Amino acid sequence: MLPARNRMRRSREFDATVKYGVRAAQSDLVVHMRRDTNVGTVNGPRVGLIVGKSVGSAVDRHRVSRRLRHVVRGMLTDLEYNDRMVIRVLPGSRDASSARLEQELRLGLRWVLKQGGTNR
């Protein structure tokens, strides 16, 4: 489980990260990263998940979400305090192993951090 301060909850945060952030597509997920420039409201990196119905049943979606939250929790130290990351899960992730999801997430995160985490 992610700590409450690191969970993205507001739709405008999701929208801004997806719309203005850097995107790295993998075979089972897409990583969107954005550095928040509004320093007054920043209190640590925030991560959000988008797991659509195309992934599978509610059981499948929750299983994938739990595995990704577990992986992300170990990656929080790699993020800066003003980073915003959204992980959009693709249908193939339902059958992917946790190790594969972690590998794809780390590759995507490495790529977006190398790009600077923002388009604007």
Query: For position 117, what pLDDT does the model report?
Result: 57
Could you read off the pLDDT of 73-93 as tens digits, one per residue? 999 988 988 899 999 999 999
Answer whether 0.85 is exceeded by the pTM: yes
CA distances to 66, 67, 102 from 15, rounded to whole Å, are 22, 23, 24
Query: For position 42, what pLDDT does the model report?
Result: 61
Query: For position 120, what pLDDT does the model report?
Result: 47
Query: For position 38, what pLDDT does the model report?
Result: 72
Give me the residues of the chain with pLDDT under 70, please. Answer: 39-42, 117-120
Q: What is the rounded distance in angstroms from the CA atom of residue 55 to the CA atom of residue 57? A: 7
